[in-house]
Every structure is written in structure tokens, then in C-alpha cells.
Amino acid sequence: MIKQAQNKKILVTGHLGFIGFHCVKKLLDNGLNVIGIDSLNDYYDVSLKESRLTELNSHKNKNFKSIIHNLAKKDTKELLKEISPNIVINLAAQAGVRHSLEHPEDYIENNIYSYLNILEYAKDNDVEKIVYASTSSVYGGNEKLPFSETDEVIKPLQFYAVTKRTNELMSEAYSSLYGIKSIGLRFFTVYGPFGRPDMALFLFTKNILDDLPINVFNNGKHMRNFTYVNDIVEGVISAAIKEPNFPMKNHEILNLASKEQIDLMDFIKEIEANLGKKAKMNFLPLQKGDVPSTASDISKMEKFFDYSPQTSMKEGVKNFIDWYLEYYKKN
């Protein structure tokens, strides 16, 4: 798989974000040539992003360049011409379901204008493929489980999902009009080391250690496809550089998730077991914009790319907590 990309220039947008960082690290581990673009915004603690950059800059593979730039700016196409990437992995986005309830305007700029600039560049230049991040949130109020790519996605529950579904429709239009090859990956509840501080595992770990209560929504009655970041990265890189097992349309959408559907209370018990400390729980009703359960049908990803997630929830939670304790001891 990696040999096919040895002479390619791979652009990863959002490379200082959670998934982007791990994606770049894996690409560098495999000796590939990577350019990263990130706006380095302050949606969460910038020092965490700076730590990710420090680690990437210290990698033994020096075929890496980091550029700080807001992709929504009008000069983005000129910058992309200078970089001239063969493959684009678009992970730059304003993340966070809850943040979108209060600041929807952030999502127009960071999720729509930014991606439009990438597509506009690609239509006039030699980009072999775009792989971009979508989300399980596009399934919104759908009640049928597991979620399948053939399901209708017309019931978004928050604006974050609206912008991600818009990205999918933009990709479909540009693929139809200009023949751009693109793959949208619907991520399901990603977690792992160097994760985002606003996500459940990070928040729960911090509050338990600080002897503070954790907010448990829907009174703990949640089921999720918690997916370890290494398994997500494996899927992203396969979609970006691997030849599919079967012919694909110019634009495809694929679910990317673990095979485990985890009860939230079991997830919390695993955190407690690793910390050796019980959580104080503040049970709350279902939060606006949220859904009780998610489950993913990943058969398309398996068919095209032999995708096979490897990390169990037990292993993934332990890896995160080991990282967390080490990182915050140092920092």
C-alpha cells in the first residue's frame, strides 16, 4: 500500500488537530512526504496543538512541512498551487456538536468555505484524490440501526451535521461536474491519546482525577461505536493511497467505525478501573442535538479496503489514560 505513495506529495489539512496529528504521524512513520496546513485556532487549549507540532517536527522523517493558514481565506488556492499536492486528506474543520448550538457561524467558515477552496483548487489542478472527514452526526434523528450509507440523511439534529452533510453534497457535485475523485468518511465517536479536551473520555478522566462530578447525559442510557484513533487513521490512509478491491464511483461515502457498540456506563467503568477511582456522576436528560444510540455498518469499508479495526475499548481506554497521566505530569 505504502509503495504506491512513495513519490506522492500528501497534504493533510487540520494536521494539528486530534485525528490529523495521528494521520500525519502514521504517514511519516511510513516514510512519506507530508505537508500540513492548520489554522491553529483557539477552540481548545493551543498548547496541546503545539505539543503535537513539536512531536511531528522531531520525527526522524524530515519530509514534513507545517504551514499555519486559515483555509477559508481567499488566497488559499494560491497557497495550494505552491504546494501542488497529489493527494489531499481534508481533516480541517470546526468540530464539536455542542459548540455548533451556540456558534453556528464558526462552522460556515471553517467547514464550508475552507472545503470549497480545496474543491475549487482541485477542479483546475492535478489532484488524484481527496479524502475528507464527515461524521456519523449526519444520520441525525434516524432510528434504524446500524446506520448504513444508503440510509436517508435528512434529519440533522445540529448545525455541525448540516455543514458536514453539505461537504458531502459539495463533493458529489464537484465529482459529477469535474471528475474529481473523492471519498467521504463518516467517523464514529473517535477517542485516543492527544484527543480533544471537549470530548467525553478527556472530560471524564480530568474530572475524576480532580474529584469533580462528570455529566452523564440521557441518564447514562447511551450506546456508541467508540472508535480508537489508530483504527480511524488506518481507514483514512487506506482510502487515500490504497487501490480499492473493486471499482468505485468518483465520489463515495463510507462509514468508518469500530465493530463494538459500547454502553456508556461500561465505558465509564473502564475509565474508573484504569484510574483506580470512582466517578461522581451527575445524571442529566438527553442533551439537545444528541442521540441515544449510534451503530455503524462498515461493510462497504471492509469490501473496498479490507478495513478491520483492531483496538478493543479496553485497550483503547488504557492507552488514553496512560498517555494522559504521562502528558500532564510533564506539562
DSSP states along 215-259: EEGGGG--EE--EEHHHHHHHHHHHHHSPPSS---SEEEEEE--S
Q: Is residue 299 part of a domain?
A: yes
**Grid cell for residue 98:** 455542542
The pLDDT of residue 25 is: 98
Residue 194 pLDDT greater than 70, yes or no: yes
Average per-residue pLDDT for the chain: 95
Residues 228-242: what's their mean pLDDT?
98
Is 324 in the active site?
no
Number of domains, the chain = 1
Which pLDDT score, from 0 to 100, does residue 103 have? 83
- For 42-59, the pLDDT digits (tens) are 888 999 999 999 999 999
Residue 307 pLDDT > 80: yes
The answer to whether residue 5 scores a pLDDT higher than 80 is no
pLDDT tops 70 at residue 331: no
Whether residue 173 lies inside any domain: the answer is: yes
What pLDDT does 330 receive? 67
- Please provide the distance, in angstroms rounded to a whole number, between the alpha carbons at the two ends of the chain: 37
Q: What is the CATH number of the domain that holds 301?
A: 3.40.50.720
Classify residue 35: in a domain, yes or no. yes
> Higher pLDDT residue, 105 or 70?
70
pLDDT score of 317 more than 80: yes
For residues 257-275, average pLDDT: 97
Band of residue 106 on the pLDDT scale cut at 50, 70, 90: confident
Residue 201 near residue 195, CB atoms below 8 Å: yes
Average pLDDT over residues 260-276: 97
Give the mean model confidence (pLDDT) for residues 25-34: 97
Cell of 2: 505504502
pLDDT for residue 260: 94
User: What pLDDT is stored for residue 7 in this prediction?
Assistant: 86
In contact, 94 and 158? CB cutoff 8 Å? no
Q: Which domain holds residue 76?
A: 2-194+226-258+295-310
Reference 174, options 115, 220, 226, 259; nearest CA is 115
pLDDT category of residue 96 using cuts at 50, 70 and 90:
confident
User: Among residues 283, 279, 268, 275, which one has the least CA distance to residue 322?
Assistant: 275
In this prediction, residues 63-67 reach a mean pLDDT of 98
Report, as an integer, the average pLDDT of 74-94. Answer: 96
Between 7 and 92, residue with greater pLDDT: 92
Whole-number pLDDT of residue 105: 87
Question: What pLDDT is recorded for position 99?
Answer: 76
* Active-site residue, selected from the candidate residues 160, 174, 228, 324: 160
Lowest-confidence range among 86-90, 286-290, 306-310?
286-290
Residue 263 belongs to some domain of the structure: no
Residue 97 predicted with pLDDT over 80 = no
Q: Evaluate whether residue 64 is within a structural domain.
A: yes
Q: What is the pLDDT of residues 171-187, one digit of tens each?
A: 999 999 999 999 999 99
Tell me how far apart the alpha carbons of residues 211 and 105 are, in angstroms, rounded to a whole number: 35
Q: What is the pLDDT at residue 94?
A: 84
Residue 61 belongs to a domain: yes
What is the average per-residue pLDDT within 123-133?
97
Question: How would you classify the pairing of strands 182-187 and 251-256?
Answer: parallel
Per the domain annotation, does 22 fall within a domain?
yes
Mean pLDDT of 300-315: 98
Alpha carbon distance 28, 91 (integer Å): 17
> What is the model's pLDDT at position 44?
87
Taking every pair of C-alpha atoms in the chain, what is the biggest distance, in angstroms? Answer: 56
| Ramachandran area for residue 194 (φ above 0: left; ψ -120 to 50: alpha; else beta) | left
| Residue 156 belongs to a domain | yes
